[in-house]
Structure 1
Amino acid sequence: MANEEGGSGLKEKLQEHEGLVEGEDSIVDEAIRILATLKDQELSVSPSLNLQGDNVPPQFLCPISGELIKDPVMLSISQTYDRPSIQKWLSEIKRVCPESRQVLSHAALVPISMELDIEHRYHLHALLYKLSVPSLSEQRKAAKELQQITLRTPSFIKLPGNPEVLHLLLSPLSSAGTAPIDSELHEDLLRIVMFLSENEDNNKVFAAENGKALSLVIYSLKSGTMQTRLTAARVISSLSLKFKSNRDIIGGNPLAIKFLVELLKVAESFIPAKALINLCIFHDRNKKRVIDEGVMQFMLSKITDCTLASNGMLLLVTILSTDCKGIAELGRHGISPILDVLRNQRISELHKECCLGMLSSICFSHRNIRQQLADEENTYRTFSNLSESATSKERVREYAMAIVTATASSTFYSC
């Protein structure tokens, strides 16, 4: 009985706080905290929350008229009012705050965006709460709905300054313990995170402000179905694309690159290679981390498959070859697979350009590589043929001619 009374009180408090206009961070945080408390008490939530009469939180009532704010504006003292009411007040009373009677420095009214309106905020918090209740059917329904919403509007959930949001969103993953999580729910939750990461503001703060959530995504690279693991790789790829700070944090996790490399070896997909490519762009430390996982030999063995996945590996090899350790690995394992696909014209012009650009840049750095290039040219005239081909792109011809010239030179620069 005591728990029921406590739960009722918490629900009332939640109704007071959870439907706030954007900007009132402290009260939003309080609403999220209440949600977490409600989870512990395992209370049910109404499937629909109406906004009529006494159910409207006081934060949405104009302090002057006592009615629902329809056109919100803010005074210099950061208090929100309905525009008609405050305009009338200021015209009659002049520059005095209606509540504190404080003299205002100016009477300018700042419009407040209602993108996250009352119904929106209630809706979000209700869905987040449903994800935290111990009912798989409720969790599935909430995850499906959130997935559909965030697919259309990635900014529906704003992560900056709200670290508890992802905690609640991924609570089914963190509370699963040793028991396997439902694969459908797991996939849907990761898709929500993927859609959220497509919003630049969310992407920028995800890794820095949501360490536990990032760890759950990284662990998902290893656990679950193949589709779930690939979706986790998509999240890592999205987070790594724009911001170096994300690449720093993700690459610094000792399991992220390890799990991505393991996934690369078993998944017939371009996605793990793309995630690793994004992690390595302009990031020498991450390049070394990938090379240290011993992936170079495996990728070279797959390049001749000429699938979408192997083409991704080929691009990753070209990026890793900009590091001295990568060049050493190429010299140790040999570049025969790369020469094979070039000789037999089994890759696109874009991939030819990448391969030839890589080979022309490293041929002076490793004796074994240059010798293999010279042998290829002397035996098959591979690079001469490419440089003379009327169907080749201009840059392909330029790189091929550079290799022909380099193999005839005695110049050598050690990496």
Structure 2
Amino acid sequence: MRHASNHSMGVESTWAHCREAFINGNKELLINLRKQLKYNDLSSANITEFFTAITVTMMSTSTKRDWAVGRSHVSPLSIGVFYLTGCFFICLAPGGIYAEPLKDTFTHAAMGTSFEFTLYARPGDTGTDDIRRIAEEAFDIVDDLDNRISAWKADSQISYVNRHAAEGPVKVAPDIMDMLLYCRKVNRESGGAFDITVGPLVACWGFYRGEGVLPSDDVLQESLAAVGMGHVILQPADRTVSFTRPGVKLDFGGIGKGLALDRAARALRAHGVKAAALNAGTSSILAIGAPPGLKGWRIQIHDPYRPGHCLDEVALCDASLSTSGNYEKFFEVGGKKYCHIFDPRIGKPVDGMLSASAIAGTATETDALSTAFFVMGEAGVRAYCRTHKGIRAIMVPILENGKPMPVRIGFETKP
């Protein structure tokens, strides 16, 4: 009996060290601790299997009895295991070990894609019904924004602007004016790489119809003449928008999902949500806090050429990541691929880039910047990040050997 008790105490002590080592990312210490538990047959790199082995050890009869009897201030042993994009952790509470915190994932169709919100329950929640109601409220906010800014909905405020702004000033809501001013700012700071008037180019290349076409030079130049933020006149004091010529069209497809995520996150935080991951399709994800026991949400940028593999991964905490890639929408003519992301300055699809990811504090920023970065290329992005501290990028150019090689930019300035 004494032997069993000593074994329990030894495991308990080792477990405490394991917890601390894992949270701090000390892999070498984890491997040494694994040896103390006599699981030397496990691969030193297989930390997930190692922790599973610890779980089994801690669930031994003597250990459970030792925790449940004679330690009245500690709850009965229950270990929760959660996997997220290859990340493994054990959930721990002050004073003892408890089951994995309640969480749930909710999905909603909007803006031509699927929004997916994963929320952890708040302290005091006894189930997921409360966070479900909060998620539904956040989805309502997304829908409201979509109904107001979608260029695909005839009764939206932006569709009204597109129909009448060439005739004269059109009054818009305060938040729409703020959004337009921000788009103009990013347009200027990116040297014109980000442009919400790119719609005529998308149309002439056939992407709105879902079938790519090579436009003639005359058609291309005619469309290009209607592109450019210089055609959009903003009067913030009067909250009016006007166009300098017919044919100009505003399209928030390159920023709208990010803005929707930010507004949803604001509502969730107002309700006390401390940990959540919000994503809009495959392009943008916003992290609120971090999962229990971790410093951030592990986010992977997938490799389109190798299913199940990733090009890079980062940990996000109260930050956002957006990715633009040439593999999302494209067509081929004569063996050449034409993607749906245009350089609005020349009117042609961007060539030579597989993907561009932006990391910043808000999804509005990253949604706009991922598009801009894809157009700007590595040199332009390096120059941008040097003058915009806190902005990071992961660029994946198309190399001659065909092997994607991610290039990290701005990470050296991140503490």
Q: TM-score range by the shorter chain?
A: under 0.3
**Bigger Rg, which one:** 1
Greater strand percent: which structure? 2
Greater helix percent: which structure? 1
Relative to the length of structure 2, the TM-score reads 0.21
